[in-house]
Structure 1
């Protein structure tokens, strides 16, 4: 069975860490656009869920208080 580079990297944390470190260093170069695969981005915290809940958003609405008064 042939494995892609991404599959091989995902099985070896040492390789993952080294690749991510190299990409982060490359990203510091002006004009260079480093690309991260979904696994790498997740390890860096790019997909951390910190959005408001629907209820929190409704509770923070300015218009919400005005609707209650009418």
Structure 2
């Protein structure tokens, strides 16, 4: 597995794992994750709004399954 995954957090033990987990935990802290998810949500909301506005303007149906997949 080391050839595939290297010596990262998923493939290490002991002290090396603790150091990597501590570093990674900051990325998943609530504020950091919330800020990231908010920006992603905003970006996709703007795209969806544009698609729906254009479809509405042209009286077209929108297949939401295609858009969200």
Give yes or no for TM over 0.5. no
TM-score, length of structure 1 as denominator length:
0.29
TM-score, length of structure 2 as denominator length:
0.30
The higher-RCO structure (CA 8 Å, 6+ apart) is 1
- Structure with more of its chain in helix, by fraction: 2
